[in-house]
Amino acid sequence: MKETSQKEFAEKDTRVAIVGATGVVGREMIEILEERQFPLSSLSLFASENSAGQVIEYQGKELVVQAINENSFHDIDIALFSAGGKISEQYAPIAKKNGVIVIDNSSHFRMDKDVPLIVPEVNSSHLREVLSTIKGNEGLIIANPNCSTIQLVVILKPLNKVAKLKRVVVSTYQSVSGAGKQGMDELWEQTMAIYNQAEVVIEKFSKQIAFNAIPHCDIFLENGYSKEEMKLILESRKILNLPDLKVTATAVRVPVFSCHSESVNIEFHEAISADKARTVLRESPGIVVLDQPEENEYPTAIELAGTDSTYVGRIREDLSVENGLDLWIVADNLRKGAALNAVQIAEIVLSTRQPH
């Protein structure tokens, strides 16, 4: 298939929609589309009836948010969904039937065997293969992975090329923005209450989040893992195409506004030194190595909020196991962990498929 450049695609009338435009991730999508000069000819913004009528600026123009309905997708080529699983379940298939390429940020379709789960730095070739099978005006649903999964697999993929993965143990330290605006508001309000010696109100999280760490992200399942932990385990296997990879996870919510951090222990089938890992990661797309701990150089959330790369440091050989490494990963969960990854997927769509 002859690839179509972004410029050619734009000239052929690329119509983009964002579903969930008034949410934290939806607004981030709008900002990133503008930052990256995404070549669209029109941008439609959709949300619930409660949010309809809000005005959002894009490239100096004021766009009015519309209430989503079954007729919202007749003049759309690409739709970025960020409105939750129920909205995706209801409207993504409708959009697909209208020939729309849907990029869904919810967890609803991620483990569907017929839905590609994509991180561009990791498995863009798989997406291109799927897109090459789409004929005419057929639509497609593409899943955007969980935020904590994305930054993990960006690091695991290049390491797996040089020393096959055997087992991965990851502990996440997830910011409150992963729980949306309500989570961010709760951290702020609880912090202010503590400073003002007022009552701390708990609504969004299971326990006080201010000055605390809560090992509880999403609901708990019968196997003792949280749903967030199982997303990370199952999605990593699917994205890496390693269905038997041993992965275990503990997901923790921490009082940080933006960026998820992860402590990762990796066991390999072959030997790999810390120096080799640093070299491999430095040469890999989407990764920045910050690893001079003697100079206090390592990734932290507060310094990296608003950035687009996946940052890695504290790379060292595991002294307790043969062929093991320990490392520390930080990425902005609203950008690379959600909105940016979705836009990057859309850019792949631009380069491989013409709109209808």
Query: In the 8-state DSSP scheme, what is residue 297?
Result: B
Element housing 246 (H / E): strand 246-253
Residue 39: domain span: 6-145+338-352
Q: CATH number for the domain including 175? A: 3.30.360.10
In a domain, 113, yes or no: yes
Q: How many domains does the chain have?
A: 2
* 256 falls within a domain: yes
98 shares a domain with 23: yes
Q: How far apart are CA 289 and CA 297, in angstroms?
A: 10
CATH number at residue 107: 3.40.50.720
Same domain, 201 and 117: no
Q: Report yes or no: 183 and 177 within 8 Å, Cβ to Cβ.
A: yes
Residues 6+ apart with CB under 8 A from 222: none
- Based on the domain organization, do 163 and 225 belong to the same domain? yes
Residue 3 CA to its chain's centroid (Å)? 26
**119 and 95 within one domain:** yes
In this structure, the answer to whether residues 100 and 203 fall within a common structural domain is no
Whether 291 is covered by a domain: the verdict is yes
Q: Is 147 a catalytic residue?
A: yes
Catalytic position from the list 126, 217, 260, 269: 260
Residues 181 and 324 in one domain: yes
* Same domain, yes or no: 348 and 328: no
Residue 139 and residue 153 in one domain: no
Q: Within a domain: residue 78?
A: yes
Q: How far, in Å, CA of 345 to CA of 339, rounded?
A: 10
Residues 36 and 180 in one domain: no
Three-class secondary structure of residue 63 per DSSP? strand
What angle (nearest 5°) sits at the alpha carbon of residue 49, between those of residues 79 and 61? 60
Q: Dihedrals φ, ψ of 351, to 5°?
A: -85, -5
In a domain, 51, yes or no: yes
Instruction: Assess whether 112 and 182 both reside in one domain.
Output: no
Walk along the chain (356 residues) and give the pLDDT tens digit of each residue.
333 334 444 445 789 999 999 999 999 999 999 999 999 999 999 999 999 999 999 999 999 999 999 999 999 999 999 999 999 999 999 999 999 999 999 999 999 999 999 999 999 999 999 999 998 889 999 999 999 999 999 999 999 999 999 999 999 999 999 999 999 999 999 999 999 999 999 999 999 999 999 999 999 999 999 999 999 999 999 999 999 999 999 999 999 999 999 999 999 999 999 999 999 999 999 999 999 999 999 999 999 999 999 999 999 999 999 999 999 999 999 999 999 999 999 999 998 865 44
For this structure, is 356 an active site residue? Answer: no
Phi/psi of residue 199, nearest 5 degrees? -70, 135
Instruction: Please state, in angstroms and rounded to a whole number, the distance separating the CA atoms of residues 342 and 18.
Output: 11
Residues 315 and 185 in one domain: yes
User: In terms of domains, do 19 and 42 share one?
Assistant: yes
Within a domain: residue 269?
A: yes
| CB 19 within 8 Å of CB 80 | yes
- Cα gap 257→103, rounded to integer Å: 25
1, part of any domain: no
Name the active-site residue from 108, 147, 217, 259: 147
